[in-house]
A and B are shown apart, each in its own frame.
Chain A
Amino acid sequence: MRLTEARPGTRVLAFGGHQPARVVTNDELAVTVDTTDEWIRSRVGIASRRIAGPDESLADMAAAAGGKALAASGLSAADIDLVIVATCTAETAIPNVAATVATRHGIAAPGAYDLNAACAGFCYALATASDAVRAGTSRYVLVIGAEKLSQWVDWTDRSTCIIFADGAGAAVVGPVTDPQAGPGIGPVVWGSDGAMADKIAIKDRNSFLTQEGQAVFRWATTALHPVAKKACELAGVDPTELTAFVPHQANLRIIEAIARKLGAPQALVADDIVHAGNTSSASIPLALSRMIERGEIGSGAAVLLLGFGAGISYAAQVITVP
């Protein structure tokens, strides 16, 4: 028996993001549930979010984001041999979303699977994509985080409907081809704790998303900064060397609390939640693609990613901006 030839390092070639057109403001929500713009901004940090219409499916959003990343990477569909879609809101149990998205882009016969690690999903997918490339089982991977959370939210529950939103973000992962360049995707630090499974859940197909906000807030603000620091340590990048910190856009208060404890005062902290809401596995690549588009983080910059959420599950890694 023989093994495929391993590659020393991997990198992200490009990012892409897609959001539905419809903007839902806090004032709009205040018409139907007992809340205010001021309350939502102070507790969660969201000013508006994007919600997909009935005609825009999860696969539509995933394909749109994937298409942008693929175009920006300079590769063609024929170069992609694995497609991973991180999602916890797939509309069908089978078929998966990944194969559908691949076919829409003319990617012929790739490995294709969905991955569910909820809001940590993108970081999990990025890690598994990177490992597949390193092990030599794939060469170029299209990684997508996509969610249509609006379908699973009780729009009369003011504690959850103000938070969650729809969108997709994507990355193309491949081998490091420049022999002078170091790796562009650092080692992942990941984990989970099923003992806290009930803290964020969609219990069955007929249920809405429920969340114990205070318990999740306590966990996120106390357990995650060591995970983030460990990812920096394994990558050999000191937190003070980070150009940016892009955590899952769960809640601005959680983001700020983790950032304070990270010890990276110079790092730009992603705050995409303000206008995107919490889009679970889509939030990190969405935030990243926008920061790159706006020129806030340049090529070669070290950025720390941290996904966390239901499961509970979490994952962090340092990457270099393409």
Chain B
Amino acid sequence: MTMNEAEILTGLGEIIDEVAGVPADQVTPDKSFVDDLDIDSLSMVEIAVAAQDKFGVEIPDDQLKNLKTVQDVIDYVRKTGVSA
């Protein structure tokens, strides 16, 4: 079953709150992980791992480096989830 954008955003907000301590309400699609949410590359790995558990979508390191904003992750999860 494919999740919709709002569901992925909610799930992502929970993950980022847990991994990086950023309140979920600050996690909006336009936010950049590095510039707006102060999330570094190691936390991005933790987010990718948690996203795999939550959404069933694997985000390998070579893809992870291209995901700069919250919207990028939402798009990746939707795209990969649909084709899977």
Footprint of B on A, CB under 8 Å?
42-43, 213-215, 217-218, 221-222, 253, 257
B41 within 8 A of A: yes
Q: Which residues of B contact A222 (CB under 8 A)?
A: 49
Interchain CB contact under 8 A, B41 and A214: yes
Which residue on chain B has the smallest CB distance to residue A218? B45
B61 within 8 A of A: yes
Which residue on chain B has the smallest CB distance to residue A260? B18
B82 within 8 A of A: no
B46 within 8 A of A: yes
Distance, CA A215 to CA B49, complexed state (A): 12
B6 within 8 A of A: no
The answer to whether residues A215 and B46 also contact, given A42-B40, A43-B40 and a CB cut-off of 8 A, is no
Q: Which residues of B contact A214 (CB under 8 A)?
A: 41-42, 45, 61, 64
Q: Which residues of A contact B46 (CB under 8 A)?
A: 221, 257
Distance, CA A217 to CA B64, complexed state (A): 14
Interface size on B, residues (CB 8 A): 9
Interchain CB contact under 8 A, A253 and B42: yes
Distance, CA A213 to CA B61, complexed state (A): 11
Which residue on chain A has the smallest CB distance to residue B61? A214
Q: Which residues of B contact A42 (CB under 8 A)?
A: 40
A–B Cβ pairs within 8 angstroms, 10 of them:
A42-B40, A213-B42, A214-B41, A214-B64, A217-B45, A218-B61, A221-B45, A221-B46, A221-B49, A222-B49
Q: Which residues of A contact B41 (CB under 8 A)?
A: 214
Distance, CA A257 to CA B48, complexed state (A): 14
Interchain CB contact under 8 A, A43 and B61: no
Q: Which residues of B contact A221 (CB under 8 A)?
A: 45-46, 49
Which of A43, A214, A253 has the most C-beta atoms of chain B within 10 angstroms of its own C-beta?
A: A214
| 3 closest residue pairs by CB, A with B | A218-B45, A214-B61, A217-B45
Distance, CA A214 to CA B61, complexed state (A): 7
Q: Which residues of B contact A213 (CB under 8 A)?
A: 42
Which residue on chain B has the smallest CB distance to residue A257? B46
Which residue on chain B has the smallest CB distance to residue A44? B42
